[in-house]
Amino acid sequence: MKVAYWPGCVSRGFTPELHGSMAQVAPLLDIELVELDRASCCGAGVIAEHNQELADTLNARTFALAQQEIASGADLMMNICSTCQGSQSECQERLDGNTEYRDHINETLAPEGLTYERGISNKNFLWLMVEEIGLDAIKAKVKRPLTDLRVGPFYGCYIVRPTDRLGIDHENPRDRYLQQLIEVLGGTVVDYAGQYKCCGFPIITMNRDASLKQAGRHLGDAIDADADCLVTPCPLCHLNLDLQQPLAEKVVGRDLGMPVLHLPQLVGLALGLEPKELGMNKHVVRPSSVIDWSTSVVGGVA
C-alpha cells in the first residue's frame, strides 16, 4: 500500500524517534511512505484559534498536495499524530460541508496550481492498521508477541472527540482500536481512568501546574492499574507524559517512572525490531520495564 504520508512537526522535532520508528515499521507492513515534504504544520488548533480561515487554507493545501500523490497512485493520506488528525479533520469538516467556503479557500490555493477536492481520506496510522491492513494480517506478522506486557492505551483528545467528526461509530469503533491492537500484538490491555483524558500539554505555558497535574494523575492511575507502559498515537501527549514526566512527578508528589511508547514503537517491537532501531533509547523515562536492555528481549516486569 502506498500512502501520502504526513508526519507532522513534533515527530521530526522533539520526538524524532516517532518519525524514525514509523520509517522502520512501514516496510514490514508493506506500506510505502511518500512524504509530503512541502506541506506545513496543521496548526494544532492554535492557528484555528487565531484565524480559522488561515488554518483551513493551510490544511486545504496539505490535502491538495496529498491528492496529487493520490492521483499518481497513493491509496490515501496517512498521518502519525492524533493532533494532526483532529485539527485536520476539523478543517476538513468545514471544507467538505460547504461548497462556497471550499471554493473561497481554493481561490487562495490557485496561484500555486493546487485545488482541494471534497472528501479526502486522511487516516492516522492506527486507523490505517485496523481498517486498511486488518488486525488478522498484523497478527500474522507478529514475530515477538508482547506476552505478559501490560499496556495502557493513552488516546489523548484529538483522535477520539468529537466522535461524529472523527467517524467513530458502531461500525468503526475507532476509540477501541488501541485495545484491539494491543491484544493482537500479544499484550495485555490495562483499563485505567486516564486513557481518554487530556495530557494537559496545550496549557503548559498558560497554567503549568494544571497541565502537569493532568499528566501526573493519568500516569499515576496507570501505575495503580499495574501497567508496564503506556502507548500513545499522539507525540504531543508524549511530550507531556515522557519529556515532562520528571516535572510532573514534582507537581503530583509521587514517583512515576512510567515508560510511554509511540504507537509504531509498540508495533515494531512485536514485529521483531530492536528497541534501539525504534529509538527507544531517546525517551526520558527509560522503558526498562518493557525491555531487558542487556538482551533486548521483550518481557513483562522481568
Site for another protein in 235-254 (CB under 8 A): 243-244, 246-247
Contacts of 196 (CB under 8 A, 6+ apart): 155, 157, 160, 175
Strand 229-232 relative to strand 150-153, pairing: parallel
Here the cell at position 247 is 516535572
Q: Judged by CB under 8 A, how many residues of this single chain contact another protein? A: 92
**Whether the bond into 173 is cis, omega within 30 of 0:** no
CB of residue 301 vs another protein: minimum separation in angstroms? Answer: 22
**Whether the bond into 162 is cis, omega within 30 of 0:** yes
CB of residue 112 vs another protein: minimum separation in angstroms? Answer: 5
CB of residue 187 vs another protein: minimum separation in angstroms? Answer: 20
For another protein, the closer CB: 266 or 280: 280
Cβ of 226: how many Cβ atoms within 10 Å?
12
CB of residue 91 vs another protein: minimum separation in angstroms? Answer: 9
For another protein, the closer CB: 133 or 256: 133
Question: Are 91 and 19 contacting, i.e. CB atoms less than 8 angstroms apart?
Answer: no
Question: Are 80 and 26 contacting, i.e. CB atoms less than 8 angstroms apart?
Answer: no
Could you tell me which stretch among 145-153, 219-227, 255-263, 280-288 binds another protein (CB under 8 A)?
280-288
Q: Is 9 in the site for another protein (CB under 8 A)?
A: yes
Q: Please report where in the chains the cell 501520502 appears, as a residue.
A: 4
State which of residues 121, 188, 288, 296 lies at the interface with another protein (CB under 8 A): 121
State which of residues 284, 288, 293, 296 lies at the interface with another protein (CB under 8 A): 284
CB of residue 244 vs another protein: minimum separation in angstroms? Answer: 6
For another protein, the closer CB: 147 or 276: 276
Q: Is 258 in the site for another protein (CB under 8 A)?
A: no
Here the cell at position 77 is 493520506
State which of positions 25-84 bind another protein (CB under 8 A): 38, 40-41, 43-54, 56-58, 61, 75-77
For another protein, the closer CB: 10 or 149: 10
Q: Is 132 in the site for another protein (CB under 8 A)?
A: yes
CA–CA separation, 83 vs 44, rounded Å?
6
For another protein, the closer CB: 243 or 270: 243
For another protein, the closer CB: 159 or 271: 159
Residue ranges of E strands in 52-189:
76-79, 122-124, 150-153, 188-189
CA–CA separation, 98 vs 25, rounded Å?
38
DSSP label of 289: T
